[in-house]
Amino acid sequence: MNLCIHNLKELYRKGSLTPEQLCQQLLKKCKEETSPVWIYLLSENELEPYLNRLKEFRPDELPLYGVPFAIKDNIDLALVPTTAGCPAYAYTPQKSAFVVQRLIDAGAIPLGKTNLDQFATGLVGVRSPYGAVNNSFVPEYVSGGSSSGSAVAVAKAMCSFSLGTDTAGSGRVPAAFNNIFGVKPTKGLLSNTGVVPACRSLDCVSIFAGTAEDGERVLSVAAANDEADPFSRKASKGCKPETLAQKFTYGVPQKRQLEFFGNKEYEQSFYASLELLDKLGGKRVEIDFSSFLDAAKLLYEGPWVEERTVAVGDFIKNHLDESDPVVAEIVAKAKSSSGAELFQAIYTLQAYKSKSDTVFESVDLIVTPTAGTCYTIEEVQADPIRLNSNLGYYTNYMNLLDYCSLAVPTAITSTVPFGITLVGRAFTDEMLLELGEKIHQLTGLPLGAGTEQPVFHQDKQKQTESDVVLVAVCGAHLQGLPLHHQLQALDATFIEKTTTSKSYMMFALETKPPKPGLIRNESKGRKQVVEVYSLSKENFGSFVSFIPHPLGIGKLELADGSWVSGFIAEPVVVEQGGDITSFGGWRNYLSSL
């Protein structure tokens, strides 16, 4: 089911779905999830008060009427234990965190609490006694952290949006690795009352969503001044999104300052993502990113490490056996700084801040990768601190320098998704969300890891009757793969990610770039993953001209019984290629190599 907020509200208006029915479906789905996404799921009885309250309203009377959401388990939900990823630390709050209560008041329904790197210390999602949360695309890879469960819950369509926290990148890295949006608001825009602190002066509540539109809706509800939180700041109307509608300037770090840790696919995906901004009217300029990188180093080398000891240091010292050993090691590294050392660090940071602010005088925003690479769970467990540090290369400076940012999904590689981060001055959150939505529409990516949440889900019968052609692609033209640019150049519109019927065999061809060939065989075939796009009839002809022998275009049967144009191969591929039918799709085959 498409869990986007506008879609749910439309279903509620029509009476074709009720919040009770939706919650029953989602609870069943959550309970069947094999990865340890959830620490605590509400029972039907516990959900009843939230659902009963909605009976007093019509769908249009509450901005988040009946919208299900998840909560990172370092954020309080009334009468539900908060563990911060450590059972021995658990307590049961009597009231919800300020931001959670605002969402509930707006009609949102909390489904439960999600897994995290213990005490929100990590960018990997493996530092939890509840288990490592698997990446939603390739289970062997990390999901990103520390808001691991919150990101995967959205990516796997278990909820419409979720809350995370972000001190050093925890609200952005998991978004990139799971093909969703990560909203890292201006510091203080969302209240931290009822949130277990990591570094209290830097912590931000963050938002995960499938679309920028949903992220903006949730942010508009959640943002409010909280007199109980001394770090709360009144919302300020930032740059109007119209200022970027036609022409804007964006900064990109100098090539020598970019780091992909040997990941060529991520490097290629980054430059392909920049072309999307250029297409939207962006003017690309190189900037000196050194002050941002220097500021990032202070997070784990300066007195801000000690701030974590203020939050949980004594507890960890007294409960070493119940603490994650990597988290305990990080917190234990903090040395007691003198007042002079603290002030010197503040002066140094302010110098970096001044230099970084100067960069923004010549650009509207900055664009970087969200992360330079991704690792397997096994790799991270073998080298936990160094690889975690690599993942924070583009994120650690953000809250120290008081900027807001938006993680935008832009590609799906042969392993895990890739995304960019839009960086703006404080209170330009709205501007970033508007631009992020435009970028996302150009990618044609599905939402999260599901097949039922396309960006542009349109009625296929209407498409067939109009002046367009539906085309199913199964190999190198898939999103993020080498030939996808051909579809982009022809203004193809993404319709959905789905599968063929059970009647197709797939063979790997030794071409450049490598491609698969589909052969219809009702006795030996199985479902194969495809992406469906619409092309104008004129551009469809151009697309067909690109296709080399022994591939061609014919009619392809989809899982729902409909027929569309799609890639088929001549029988010779049975002899020329290797049989990869059992993988069920080209991406699955590539990830096995």
Give yes or no for residue 241 having a pLDDT over 50. Answer: no
Residues 6+ apart with CB under 8 A from 122: 145, 146, 170, 326, 327, 388
Once rounded to an integer, what is the mean pLDDT over residues 499-524?
Answer: 90
Q: How does strand 204-209 pair with strand 181-184?
A: antiparallel
385 pLDDT band, cuts 50/70/90, is very high
Burial of 228 (0-12, 13-18, 19+ CB in 10 A): exposed
Cα separation, 415 vs 265, in Å, equals: 9
Residue 80's Cα: distance from chain center in Å?
Answer: 26
Predicted confidence (pLDDT) per residue in 561-582, tens digit: 788 999 988 888 888 888 999 9
Q: What is the pTM of this model?
A: 0.77
What integer is the mean pLDDT of 481-503? 86
**Type of residue at 314:** D
Helix-then-strand count for the chain, H and E: 21, 19
* pLDDT band per the 50, 70, 90 thresholds, residue 235: low
Provide DSSP, 283-309: EEEEE--HHHHHHHHHHHHSTHHHHHI
Give me the active site residues, please.
72, 146, 170
Do the Cβ atoms of 262 and 268 come closer than 8 Å?
no
Q: How many CA atoms lie within 13 A of 508 on its CB side?
A: 18
* Confidence band for 349, pLDDT divided at 50, 70 and 90: very high
User: Distance from CA of residue 343 to its chain's centroid?
Assistant: 36
- CA distances (Å), origin 135, targets 118, 122, 140, 445, 459: 18, 15, 7, 17, 31
- Whether pLDDT at 458 is above 70: no
Q: Does residue 243 or residue 491 have the better pLDDT? A: 491
Per the document, the length of the chain is: 593
Note the pLDDT tens digit of each residue in 262-294.
999 999 999 999 999 999 999 999 999 999 999
Burial (CB count within 10 angstroms: exposed 0-12, middle 13-18, buried 19+), residue 272: middle
pLDDT at 341 over 90: no
pLDDT at 236: 54
Per-residue DSSP letter, 256: G
Mean pLDDT for the chain overall: 91
Q: Nearest-CA neighbor of 133 among 120, 119, 152, 158?
A: 152
pLDDT per position as a tens digit, 412-436:
999 999 999 999 999 999 999 999 9
* Cα gap 132→174, rounded to integer Å: 13
Whether residue 440 contacts residue 409, with contact meaning beta carbons closer than 8 Å, is answered with yes
Amino acid identity for residue 282 in this structure:
G
User: Is-contact 80 114, C-beta < 8 A?
Assistant: no
Residues with Cβ < 8 Å from 358, sequence gap 6 or more?
none
Give the type of residue at 320. L
DSSP classification of residue 548:
P
**382: helix, strand or coil:** helix
> What percent of the chain lies above the pLDDT cut of 70?
95
Residue type, 77: L
Share of the chain above pLDDT 90, in %: 74
Contact present, 376 and 155 (Cβ < 8 Å): no
pLDDT on residue 246: 65
Q: What is the pLDDT of residue 460?
A: 43
Give CA–CA dist 191/205, Å, rounded.
Answer: 7
Average pLDDT over residues 238-259: 76
- The alpha carbon torsion through 36, 41, 43, 44 (nearest 10 deg) reads -100
Q: Say which CATH topology domain 460-592 has.
A: Hypothetical upf0131 protein ytfp (3.10.490)
Cα distances (angstroms) measured from residue 546 to each of 481, 487, 549 = 16, 11, 10
CA-to-CA distance for 227 and 233, rounded, in angstroms?
A: 9
pLDDT digit string (tens) for 40-54? Answer: 999 999 999 999 999
| Residue ranges per structural domain of the chain | 460-592
Confidence band of 510 (pLDDT split at 50, 70, 90)? confident
Q: DSSP labels for 88-113?
A: GG-B--SS--HHHHHHHHTT-EEEEE
Whether the CB-CB separation of 480 and 531 falls below 8 Å is answered with no
